[in-house]
């Protein structure tokens, strides 16, 4: 591809046409016609926010018998899931419901929306998603919005010829307040409450000054002002360009000034206009000013100086801000702040901040307490695309997530329920003993669940550390990461309590034991996945129980001698599924009756036909063949080609069926072999 082709690629896809649409300019009359045809162009900031989220659609699902709405917007379809938020559907549903109520004018539009939760719980990500969504939405036909500029001013007012509305205000603000009711009656005819066009507020001080001067010049002829001196144009929100989206964060007390929120005097223009109270000599570029029509994010809002919080009170309740030396001016924006729990507790204990507490809608953003959702966070960051040079062994991310979730859960009050079982219940694994109703009860009794524990950032840091160190020589396994997490606890900056460190280490041991069970099960299934061997074992078992039931002899295939049924073989299989000695006859008759019923229907019995028998045969085959993998402890010394061949078969099954690579498959076999070896040593010790 050459330079011309690259330029052609940039221009392709309707780039020029899109630019023209986003820079549309017309008259006030053109805009009025647009409003009459599509009233949504004049929506408030909250209406626009809710419509933006709803535009991506939603789906309903039930959790603990409660209807939950999952909003697709928070999957980050804009960036292909880069900022996707997992496991917080209930809390995000509350946030969107707040936007919906505010859009309808029910009250939340007069509040500060406060995202509250522990560090690393995705509060900033939610705010970033909303800002990004508004930017993209303002570029779409559905999200089109407009503002105005004053034009042809030089001759009349002896100033710059063109002045854009400094706060990007709604063009309908140009309609005199005395006439607005009649205009809105026409625009809102037949519309429901949630979609009404609302026009509350007045022109900014600079625009009001020009408006009043022009009214004097034309002796109150409003139509001439609109025709000769206004131009309406498309408004595209942009955080980088500080148009419609503002962000404010606390600074050192000596360096922060409330003018950063409400604007400041332009001293260079005082000489031109003669007074520091002339609105043309004022920069309406504070974060509140530039965020008008969109949203403003307050990072760590409760760390702000008290002077800033006072500005926040009127901005939320009255939708007004007070620039220096000017009357209050109107704003229309979504105010979102986020804070950690220590700061929020400080707010609650401060009796002088009742006004702010009363003007906030708190949305909790806790840590995830569902294992599957926590795993998604790490899968997004660590996968074959992001880490192509190192293989991530099966269950590595799952075990990391499991430990993180366990640290966030409160110990269950039920005596017969462990923390690990509770985690599995939360993850959807209900049993006859514990149902959805029990899970709901557990959720209610755990008041602080999800507000304490290990942050996803710590997990990500330790996985990254494991990848960099590459102790697995090309493959990272659960033990490498879990050991990194354990060693990092000593210097963890957020853990000052030695008892807490001890508890977290105990939970790591729990996770390691859980991993042992998982990897043992997978190796077991890989060993017993030889269908021919299972089929042969099944045939042998059926022959023996048939002879046993009919009181016959069994012909030995090797000696051709008639022998008694092999009771040891039959019991070794039946024991695997807890068939007691007293119930063995019933079970054997049950199997024979089942085979007979299938034969009557013209069907052939095979081991897959009966689930319990299939499981028993798998476990028996595993028991018979597990000695093979004990050799992997000394695999380098194995000379027996047959034994090595069996090991290779098991390894290949682990690779093919469970996602292992050659390195972690060997590690898994070695690890499970060492477990069996320990088990055998304990048995020998017990015998002695």
In a domain, 71, yes or no: yes
In a domain, 582, yes or no: no
Alpha carbon 483 to chain centroid distance? 26
Query: Residue 139: CB partners within 8 Å, gap ≥ 6?
Result: 18, 22, 236
Query: Residue 376: CB partners within 8 Å, gap ≥ 6?
Result: 84, 86, 87
Cα-Cα-Cα-Cα torsion 488, 493, 495, 501, nearest 10 degrees, comes to 20
In a domain, 62, yes or no: yes
In a domain, 79, yes or no: yes
Distance in angstroms (rounded) separating the CA atoms of residues 439 and 412: 11
Residue 143's alpha-carbon distances to 54, 139, 213, 401, in angstroms, are 12, 7, 34, 39
Alpha carbon 41 to chain centroid distance? 31
Helices (H), 470-582: 478-488, 498-527, 531-549, 567-574
- The confidence score (pLDDT) of residue 176 equals 93
Distance in angstroms (rounded) separating the CA atoms of residues 297 and 312: 12
Q: What domain count does the chain have?
A: 1
In a domain, 35, yes or no: yes
Q: Are 406 and 420 in contact (CB under 8 A)?
A: yes
In a domain, 223, yes or no: no
Among candidates 239, 332, 320, which has minimal Cα distance to 48?
332
- The confidence score (pLDDT) of residue 57 equals 96
**Beta strands per DSSP E along 278-399:** 282-283, 295-298, 320-321, 329-330, 334-339, 360-364, 391-392
Domain that holds residue 53: 22-107
Q: Are 324 and 267 in contact (CB under 8 A)?
A: no
Q: What average pLDDT values come out for the chain (688 residues) when binned by 10 residues? A: 70 73 94 92 95 96 87 96 94 96 92 94 95 97 96 88 95 94 89 80 94 94 95 96 93 74 89 86 93 95 80 90 90 95 85 84 95 95 91 96 96 88 88 78 88 94 92 91 92 84 95 93 81 83 89 78 86 87 89 86 80 81 68 49 77 91 90 73 48
In tens, the pLDDT along 463-503 reads: 999 999 888 889 999 999 999 999 999 888 778 888 999 99
- The confidence score (pLDDT) of residue 166 equals 94
In a domain, 30, yes or no: yes
- The confidence score (pLDDT) of residue 633 equals 46
Q: Which residue has the tokens 């990092």?
A: 488
In a domain, 76, yes or no: yes
Distance in angstroms (rounded) separating the CA atoms of residues 634 and 631: 5
- The confidence score (pLDDT) of residue 687 equals 47
Q: Which residue has the tokens 């049993």?
A: 431
Alpha carbon 617 to chain centroid distance? 43
Distance in angstroms (rounded) separating the CA atoms of residues 342 and 344: 5
DSSP secondary structure of 31-79: HHHHHHH-GGGG--HHHHHHHHHHTT-EEEEEETTEEEEEEGGGG-TTT
- The confidence score (pLDDT) of residue 259 equals 84
- The confidence score (pLDDT) of residue 6 equals 67
Alpha carbon 81 to chain centroid distance? 9
- The confidence score (pLDDT) of residue 681 equals 46
- Each residue of 303-324: b (16+ CB within 10 Å) or e? ebeeebbebbeebbeebbbbbe
């Amino acid at each position: 591809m050459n330079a011309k082709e690259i330029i052609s690629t940039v221009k392709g896809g309707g780039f020029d046409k899109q630019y023209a649409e986003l820079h549309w300019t017309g008259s006030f009359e053109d805009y009025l016609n647009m409003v009459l045809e599509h009233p949504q162009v004049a929506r408030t900031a909250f209406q626009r926010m809710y419509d933006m989220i709803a535009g991506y659609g939603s789906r309903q699902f039930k959790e603990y018998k409660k209807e939950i709405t999952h909003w697709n917007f928070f999957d980050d379809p804009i960036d292909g899931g880069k900022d996707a938020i997992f496991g917080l559907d209930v809390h995000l549903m509350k946030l969107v419901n707040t936007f919906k109520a505010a859009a309808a004018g029910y009250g939340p539009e007069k509040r500060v929306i406060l995202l509250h939760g522990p560090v690393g719980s995705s509060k900033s990500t939610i705010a970033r998603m909303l800002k990004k969504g508004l930017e993209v939405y303002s570029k779409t036909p559905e999200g089109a919005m407009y503002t105005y500029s004053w034009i042809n001013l030089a001759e009349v007012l002896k100033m710059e010829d063109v002045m854009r509305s400094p706060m990007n205000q709604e063009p309908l603000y140009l309609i005199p307040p005395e006439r607005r009711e009649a205009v809105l009656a026409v625009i809102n005819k037949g519309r429901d409450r949630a979609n009404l066009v609302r026009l509350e507020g007045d022109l900014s001080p600079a625009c009001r000054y020009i408006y009043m001067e022009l009214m004097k010049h034309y002796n109150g002829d409003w139509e001439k002002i609109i025709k000769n001196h206004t131009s309406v144009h498309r408004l595209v929100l942009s955080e980088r360009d500080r148009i419609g989206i503002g962000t404010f964060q606390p600074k050192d007390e000596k360096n922060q000034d409330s003018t950063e929120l409400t604007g400041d005097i332009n001293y260079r223009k005082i000489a031109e206009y003669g007074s520091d109270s002339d609105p043309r000599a004022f920069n309406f570029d504070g974060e509140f000013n530039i965020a008008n029509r969109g949203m403003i994010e307050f990072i760590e809002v409760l760390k702000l100086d008290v002077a800033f919080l006072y500005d926040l009170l009127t901005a939320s309740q009255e939708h007004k801000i007070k620039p220096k030396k000017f009357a209050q001016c109107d704003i229309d924006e979504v105010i979102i702040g986020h804070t950690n729990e220590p700061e929020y507790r400080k707010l609650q204990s401060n009796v002088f901040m009742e006004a702010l507490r009363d003007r906030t809608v708190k949305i909790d953003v806790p840590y995830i307490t569902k294992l599957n959702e926590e795993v998604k966070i790490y899968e997004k960051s660590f996968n074959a695309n992001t880490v192509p040079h190192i293989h991530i062994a099966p269950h590595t991310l799952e075990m990391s997530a499991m430990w993180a979730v366990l640290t966030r859960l409160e110990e269950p009050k039920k005596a017969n329920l462990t923390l690990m079982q509770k985690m599995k219940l939360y993850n959807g694994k209900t049993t006859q003993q514990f149902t959805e109703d029990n899970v709901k009860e557990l959720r209610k009794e755990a008041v602080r669940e999800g507000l304490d524990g290990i942050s996803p950032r710590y997990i990500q840091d330790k996985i990254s550390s494991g990848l960099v160190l590459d102790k697995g020589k090309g493959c990272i396994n659960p033990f490498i990461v879990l050991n990194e997490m354990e060693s990092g606890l000593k210097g963890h900056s957020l853990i000052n309590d030695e008892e807490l460190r001890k508890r977290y280490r105990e939970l790591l041991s729990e996770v390691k034991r859980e991993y042992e069970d998982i990897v043992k099960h997978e190796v077991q299934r890989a060993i017993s996945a030889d269908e021919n061997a299972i089929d042969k074992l099944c045939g042998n078992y059926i022959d023996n129980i048939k002879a046993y039931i009919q009181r016959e002899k069994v012909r030995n295939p090797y000696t051709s001698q008639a022998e008694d049924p092999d009771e040891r073989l039959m019991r070794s299989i039946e024991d695997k599924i807890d068939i007691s000695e007293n119930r063995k006859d019933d079970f054997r008759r049950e199997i024979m009756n089942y085979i007979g019923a299938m034969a009557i229907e013209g069907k052939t019995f095979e081991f897959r036909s009966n689930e319990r028998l299939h499981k028993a045969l798998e476990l028996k085959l595993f028991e018979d063949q597990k000695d093979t993998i004990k050799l992997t402890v000394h695999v380098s010394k194995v000379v027996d080609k047959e034994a090595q061949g069996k090991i290779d078969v098991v390894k290949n099954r682990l690779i093919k069926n469970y996602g292992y690579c050659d390195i972690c498959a060997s590690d898994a076999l070695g690890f499970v072999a060492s477990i069996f070896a320990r088990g055998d040593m304990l048995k020998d010790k017990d015998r002695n």
